[in-house]
């Protein structure tokens, strides 16, 4: 566990598309986040499930929160802005629904300049929800 | 649909052979998403463009719901802001098989290629 830091210090996104509640673990190479799917979630579908793109955004914002945490530890006050450059090998195993709590872990595969490649995996309890590789570019 | 008439609207559609079509769309600058992405600096979320492809696929196939089972690869080649980009084309080439659809799509305009998508969707 890491000390609690307001997520708004770690990611630049604001409502209605803040897709991480908190960063719960982090080290140099990996980080874990949590998100409860509430009924006002921007990516909620009519059937009460979170749309796949909501999952991808949540995974990307976990990577962003990780970058924000590393920057925060170095005294940077403003969360860095990152953009998704590529989604590769996304696999959906189940669609989570309203009320579910997502737990997502990102692992850095490669870091070069302002580009980071991560593997991301999302679970609800012990069930695998989705996994993917993401390329994220941080704004210079 | 999640984003049609909220994030984008369809102006026109030219159908090609089989399951292919080119949708001419406009981005809706007053979409609430820009309040948070990012404050004072509206940038189209890449995932909203993936959702736009999915919703165009729903229009093309008549499927009431589709889920994105796999993304082989989706590349975002240029940033898009609704302040500078109004008109876009969404080109879709899909093939139906037993488990759903293979979808190859591209979002572009006359000047720029913004996104290339290659994945699997199923109903």
> Which positions 4-23 of A are in contact with B (Cβ < 8 Å)?
12-18
What tokens does B86 get? 């109004």
Q: Return the bridge partners of B119, or none.
A: B71, B103
Residue B47, chain A, CB below 8 Å: the answer is yes
The pLDDT tens digits for A59-110 are 999 999 999 999 999 999 889 999 999 999 999 999 999 999 999 999 999 9
Distance CA A79, CA A122 (A): 23
> Chain A: nearest CA to B37, how far in angstroms?
6
A88:B74 CB<8 A: yes
Domain-located, residue B72: yes
Domain-located, residue B15: yes
Domain-located, residue B33: yes
Residue B84, chain A, CB below 8 Å: the answer is no
Is the per-residue pLDDT at B76 higher than 80?
yes
Domain that holds residue B109: 8-122
* ipTM of the complex model: 0.97
CATH number of residue B44's parent domain: 3.10.129.10
Domain-located, residue B97: yes
The pLDDT tens digits for A43-73 are 999 999 999 999 999 999 999 999 999 999 9
Q: Specify whether the backbone of B26 is left (phi greater than 0), alpha (psi in -120 to 50) or beta.
A: beta
Compute the average pLDDT of residues A10-36.
97
Domain-located, residue B3: no
Domain-located, residue B62: yes
Chain B partners within 8 Å of A42 (Cβ): 32-33
Residue A27, chain B, CB below 8 Å: the answer is no
Compute the average pLDDT of residues A109-137.
97
Q: Which of B2, B36, B73 is the closest to A14 by Cβ?
A: B36
Is the per-residue pLDDT at B84 higher than 90?
yes
| pLDDT value at residue B42 | 97
Greatest distance between any 2 Cα atoms in chain A: 43
Domain-located, residue B2: no
Q: For chain B, what is the domain count?
A: 1
A52:B76 CB<8 A: no
| pLDDT value at residue B34 | 98
CATH class of A7-138: alpha beta
Q: Which of B65, B74, B79 is the closest to A86 by Cβ?
A: B74
Distance CA A93, CA A130 (A): 6
The pTM score is 0.97
Among chain A residues, the shortest Cα distance to B74 is held by A87
Distance CA A44, CA A37 (A): 8
């Amino acid at each position: 566990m890491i000390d609690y830091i307001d997520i708004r210090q770690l990611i630049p996104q604001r409502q209605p598309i803040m897709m991480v509640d908190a960063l719960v673990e982090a080290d140099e190479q990996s980080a874990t986040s949590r998100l409860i799917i509430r009924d006002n979630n921007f990516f909620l579908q009519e059937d009460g499930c979170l749309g796949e793109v909501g999952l991808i955004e949540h995974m990307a914002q976990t990577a962003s929160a990780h970058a924000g945490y590393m920057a925060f530890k170095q005294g940077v006050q403003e969360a860095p802005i990152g953009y998704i450059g590529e989604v590769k090998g996304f696999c959906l195993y189940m669609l989570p629904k309203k009320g579910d709590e997502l737990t997502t872990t990102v692992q850095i595969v490669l870091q070069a300049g302002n580009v980071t490649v991560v593997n991301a995996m999302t679970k609800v309890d012990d069930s695998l929800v989705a996994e993917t590789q993401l390329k994220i570019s941080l704004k210079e | 649909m999640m984003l049609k008439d909220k994030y984008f609207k369809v102006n026109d559609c030219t159908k090609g052979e089989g399951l292919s079509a080119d949708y001419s769309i406009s981005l809706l600058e007053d979409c609430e998403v820009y309040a948070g992405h990012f404050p004072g600096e509206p940038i189209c979320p890449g995932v909203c463009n993936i959702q736009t492809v999915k919703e165009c696929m729903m229009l093309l196939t008549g499927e009431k719901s589709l889920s994105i089972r796999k993304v082989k690869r989706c590349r975002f080649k240029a940033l898009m802001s609704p302040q500078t980009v109004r008109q876009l084309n969404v080109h879709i080439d899909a093939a139906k098989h037993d488990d759903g659809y293979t979808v190859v799509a591209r979002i572009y305009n006359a000047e720029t290629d913004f996104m290339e998508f290659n994945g699997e969707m199923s109903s």
